[in-house]
Amino acid sequence: MSKIEFIIPTYSRINHLITILGSFKSQSNPNWKAHIVADCPPSDIQDKINKTIEFFDDERFKLTILPERYNDWGHTPRQYGLDNATEEWVVMTGEDNYYVPEFVDIMLSEGKDHHFVYCNMVHNWINKDYIPLNSVLKFGGIDIGNFMTRTNMAQKIKLRKDHKWADWFFVEDFQNKYKVAKYKKVNGVLYVHN
């Protein structure tokens, strides 16, 4: 049975973490797990993260707390999660995102014969209005949380941690490495970036 493994970096925004974890619990398809990777937050924040995960009471949530702080837009925690991912599919995301309840169901269904699946999204562009985006595989047209890739393929690519736009560069590197990969776009809006 195919599953999606979500990788969620976090530091201190507990309200955002509650929202994204709630969106996972609301999925119509139970074939997912979520690996929360904390970027060495202070101990009081670690306690809040633990209590949040305990509140949802779901063995599909896993927490790793990194031993040192990287503060690199979540790229090192994402890379850690990617390196340790075990499910067939992986979605690297952010704690400030939200997935509609059909995300897992639709993405897994569309992914059967593909290597990279992405969907349209709503984006809070630089803290302005929410705008719908017609996702495209080019710079500025895709976000780290609105695509999933086969884990074994994604693990052969490293995030460019020194750049804020590592999500785009990951897609570009994927395309360059896997020139014959099969891509699938889902036209529905299944993802919201806050």
Predicted pLDDT at 125: 66
Would you state the pLDDT for residue 164? 83
Beta strands in the chain (DSSP E): 4-10, 32-38, 61-65, 89-92, 97-99, 116-124, 130-133, 147-150, 183-193
pLDDT recorded at residue 126: 64
Among candidate residues 151, 120, 150, 158, the one with its CA nearest the CA of residue 137: 120
Instruction: Return the closest-CA partner of residue 118 out of 100, 88, 145.
Output: 145
Domains of the chain: 4-193 (3.90.550.10)
Asked if 31 and 116 touch (Cβ cutoff 8 Å), the reply is no
DSSP E strand boundaries for 55-150: 61-65, 89-92, 97-99, 116-124, 130-133, 147-150
Centroid of chain to Cα 150: 13
d(Cα 18, Cα 120) in Å, to the nearest integer? 23
Report the pLDDT value the prediction gives residue 124, as an integer from 0 to 100. 80
Assign 80 to helix, strand or coil. Answer: helix
**pLDDT computed for residue 127 by the predictor:** 64
Residue pair 70/37 in contact (Cβ under 8 Å)? The answer is: no
Tell me how long the chain is: 194
For the chain, 194 residues long, the average pLDDT of each consecutive 10-residue run is 96 94 97 98 95 95 97 94 98 95 98 96 79 90 94 96 85 95 96 89
Alpha-carbon span 64 to 153, nearest angstrom:
23
Pairing between strand 89-92 and 147-150? Answer: antiparallel
- pLDDT value, residue 180: 92
Q: Are 39 and 66 in contact (CB under 8 A)?
A: yes
DSSP 93: -
CA 114/CA 176 separation, integer angstroms:
16
- For residue 191, the number of C-alpha atoms closer than 13 Å in the C-beta half-sphere is 29
pTM for the full model? 0.95
Q: Are 159 and 78 in contact (CB under 8 A)?
A: yes
